[in-house]
Structure 1
Amino acid sequence: MSKNKKNIFTSLLDKLNFFNKKNSSTDSKNIIKKKKKLDRKKKENILSKNNNISANLKIKEEDKNSLLFFLKNKFNTMRQNFFLVIKNFFLKDKINKKILKKLEEKLISFDISIKTSKKIIDYSVNSLSKKDFKNPSIIYKKIFFYMNKILQKSISLSKLSFNSKFPYIILIVGVNGSGKTTTISKLSKLYKDQNKKVLVAAADTFRAAAIDQLSILCQDNNISMISKKYGSDPSSVVYEALQTAISKKFDILIIDTAGRFHTKINLMNELKKIVSVIHKLNNNQLIDIFLTIDACTGQNSLEQTKFFNKFLKITGIILTKFDSTSKGGIIFSIADEFSIPVKYITTGESIKDICVFNNLDFINSIFKSK
């Protein structure tokens, strides 16, 4: 073979090798891309399985009276946002402390307190091995179960207690603008639909508008109400209402009170006086004292809960205005720091916009995308 032909042949071989290497490199890149895509799909499937933990807990999503159904229809924007934030963190190849710190900050942004957010993250990584950090689904599950464990601290084991002599009494308290009056109308209608005989006491005598508003709501829904003129002693309204409830055998007495800032000691003492009047008439039978919390107030809700609970021993929380502007995380902080049961969630202006709180429904509404 001549030297020129040999050079041409060698050049062709070099080009062929070059193209082979290039194709091989392209194939390798495609393989890596496909592998990453499959890995991501695998993680999404794992998360999907984790999201279906509720199936093991036997949640009936089709129940239109369930909190899960209520949240899906009234609170879907926040629910989806919360879910996407958590999901996106766990689609990474592995979890490290920096990522967990960012997740903690995200939890705080959803109105979960700094203290409770730190607890959630610390518990989730406690006793994990280095190998576990490469498996995000393990940490994901731990976060799910610990957040559910927090909510379990606020589960109420008590039920409505009735006897032949005294009505079941609910005292509604809260700061100005927390939605007490509208909540009372919703609560009254809820009990009335359960065939209970309900009486409402309009003990917010500091605002004539409050008495008028409650009167209209009660009239519209055929609910009995006891009231006195503007400026009357609230305790005297409660005294008369309880006497009426006992004599006419009402099943439930719901008492409205004036909104007050939790830092006003004299006004808080006035609530104590109302409780004292009740106990004198009902032979010290237990009563429920429900604190209404505006779900949009965020961390300030913890201070409200702290002070009202100190003075009155709150037995239940009603979260109001639970709409697209509220973030919902405050529920975890209240449960974690006070172990007071969340009784009801309300939203909107409709008298039917109230639902009994259920911790399993609530946690699943966050950890499920649909």
Structure 2
Amino acid sequence: MRLTPGRLVAGAVALALLSGITGGLLGAAVSGSGGDGRPAAAAATGGTACDVTQVAATVFPSLVTINVRRGATGGLGSGSVLDRDGNILTNDHVIAPAFGAGTTPATITVDFARGASEVPATVVGRDPATDLAVLRVDPAAATLTPIAIGDSSALVVGQPVVAAGSPLGLNSTITAGVVSALNRWIDVGDGAEPAALVNAVQTDAAVNQGNSGGPLTDCAGRQVGVNSAGAQPPEGGGGSIGLNFAIPIDFALSVAEQLIGDKKATHPVIGVMSVSVTDEIARSTGLPRGALVEQVVPGFGAARAGMRPGDVITQVGGTAVNGTDQMLVAIRTHKPGDTVDVRFSRGGSAQTAQVPVTEP
């Protein structure tokens, strides 16, 4: 999807390059709860209206405001505490002002919504191609409450969600809405700079400048997305108009895992553009749950393996997938140069292909 009627603002800078504008070209690896104190993933909550008061009480101890200063310039955004080691998830464009041209050193500090202020933070890793970054604070400098992680692949249209962050620097702000749509491809490029949000969660929960990097949560206070973009009318001059977008947490967390472990993220791809077959789509079309291939990119692994538009990918390397997010996560467990077994449905018939994994 290309958003042509208006413009997107930061909370609004986003993904770039081939790996950022082709949904099925990205991939990711995610681990569950371990000894780091991170809560285990849980299914998203749908259906009933949120008790927003309870969501706020649950989320605020894990919410931070991020301040970046570099000489006379700077930036502000939000983030969420991932673990008790002090790792914090945010958008890359929140910290990008620290890496501009010039020699003036930058400082990054974190204010906890329910705790210490002006805590120095360092950059663990950043990935402009996915607009994600991880910061770290000294665990002894603040009380760390890791946010609970939800399941973005379980989100459904109409499900209540809550956004938390620091719009315009007003920290500890919470807004409520619903999942308006799923699997959005949003062009947020500016002039010669291509950029896009891939497979984004669309919500009408208000997201304004400063919300970037903060959590989008379900009604249990579990993070299901990273708030990243908000639309404005072409003439500008306003705040949220109810068209806002978040990076799914399944994918965001997988990138964060790589940044924490390797200080950088790789982008293994098989070369497909896809959308998720949700329960609703499956019921109306008879397709299985999975990643529906809309385009096969010539020259990449899927094309060389004979995959076609209309195939529904249901398993990658022994990992079952019920949508594009999980496909991306499963691909990211492999390295460029690997060959992976991909199971898919074509015309109701189950098939398997040996697909080379490459980089974009």
Output the TM-score relative to the length of structure 2. 0.24
Indicate the structure (1 or 2) with the bigger Cα radius of gyration: 1
More strand by share: 2
More helix by share: 1
